């Protein structure tokens, strides 16, 4: 459960969804930018998850 987000999303699914959005929007990401973009998404949602976790225990 450590890699799950509120709403049942996971790190991997979120990153793949972000990459799909990028392709649909015509970003034409290079391989280097693709990996950087996924890394940024993992990093962002890692902190989002722990913020949510702290918020939950702080108020409940």
Say if CB 11 and CB 46 are below 8 A apart: yes
pLDDT at residue 16 in the model: 56
pLDDT at residue 7 in the model: 47
User: What contacts 18, CB < 8 A, 6 or more positions away?
Assistant: 37, 38, 41
pLDDT at residue 48 in the model: 67
Say if CB 11 and CB 3 are below 8 A apart: yes
Alpha-carbon gap, residue 51 to 46, rounded angstroms: 9
Tens-level pLDDT at each residue, the chain (60 residues): 444 444 444 545 555 565 565 555 555 545 455 555 556 666 666 666 666 666 666 665
Alpha-carbon gap, residue 7 to 28, rounded angstroms: 29
| pTM: predicted TM-score of the whole model, two decimal places | 0.19
pLDDT at residue 1 in the model: 40
Q: What 3-state class would DSSP assign to 32?
A: helix
């Amino acid at each position: 459960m450590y890699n799950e987000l509120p709403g049942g999303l996971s790190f991997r699914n979120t990153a793949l969804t972000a990459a799909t959005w990028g392709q649909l929007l015509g970003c034409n990401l290079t391989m280097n930018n693709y990996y950087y973009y996924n890394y940024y998404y993992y990093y962002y949602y890692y902190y989002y998850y722990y913020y949510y976790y702290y918020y939950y225990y702080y108020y409940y």
